[in-house]
């Protein structure tokens, strides 16, 4: 089972990215398959925020259109939203203690902790996730 980072959602849906075609095809295969796909609120709302930001994408979707895309993903039977468990604070504490974390990495720790708690592989094009002990990471864009 996998958990997706915001960057893959953006790459898969915004054609302005050079990674678009590869990401789109990979994401479509995940959504069209039967294996469970986890999408966190962190990643989903990050997608809506960035995709609809006119300062980032002049021709990106509106907030409503981006949100409707999220709703289509969530309507699939094998797509689910992982919740933080009672261990979440402890997992985050461990990641903070064992990794060199900068302020810009703090939100990523939440995503890493969710993946660890639920035994998921975190799928991201961000190589920084490799620093977190106990986290399985996959960059589906690397051939």
Tens-digit pLDDT profile for residues 43-52: 999 999 999 9
Give pLDDT, residue 19: 94
Give pLDDT, residue 100: 84
Q: How many folded domains does the chain comprise?
A: 1
Domain ranges, residue 124: 1-143
Give pLDDT, residue 59: 84
Q: What is the CATH number of the domain that holds 80?
A: 3.40.50.1010
Give pLDDT, residue 55: 80
Please report which confidence band the pLDDT of residue 57 belongs to, taking 50, 70 and 90 as the band edges: confident
pTM attached to this predicted model? 0.93
Give pLDDT, residue 119: 97
Give pLDDT, residue 54: 83
- Residue range 84-139, pLDDT digits in tens: 999 999 999 999 999 988 888 888 999 999 999 999 999 999 999 999 999 999 99
Rounded mean pLDDT of 2-27? Answer: 96
Provide CB contacts within 8 A for 103, sequence distance 6+. none
Q: Is the pLDDT of residue 58 over 90?
A: no
Residue among 60, 36, 62 nearest 118 (CA) = 36
Q: Is the pLDDT of residue 143 over 90?
A: no
Give pLDDT, residue 102: 87
Residue among 118, 106, 115 nearest 137 (CA) = 115
Provide CB contacts within 8 A for 24, sequence distance 6+. 11, 12, 13
């Amino acid at each position: 089972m996998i958990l997706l980072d915001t960057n893959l959602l953006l790459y898969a849906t915004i054609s302005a990215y050079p990674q678009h075609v590869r990401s789109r095809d990979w994401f479509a295969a995940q959504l069209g398959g039967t294996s469970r796909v986890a999408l966190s609120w962190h990643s989903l709302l990050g997608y809506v925020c960035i995709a609809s930001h006119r300062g980032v994408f002049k021709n990106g979707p509106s907030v409503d259109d981006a949100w409707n895309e999220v709703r289509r993903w969530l309507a699939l039977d094998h797509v689910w939203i992982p919740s933080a468990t009672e261990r979440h604070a402890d997992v985050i504490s461990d990641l903070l203690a064992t990794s060199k974390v900068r302020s810009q990495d703090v939100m990523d720790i939440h995503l890493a902790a969710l993946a660890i708690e639920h035994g998921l592989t975190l799928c991201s094009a961000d190589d920084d996730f490799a620093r977190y002990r106990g986290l399985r990471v996959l960059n589906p864009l690397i051939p």
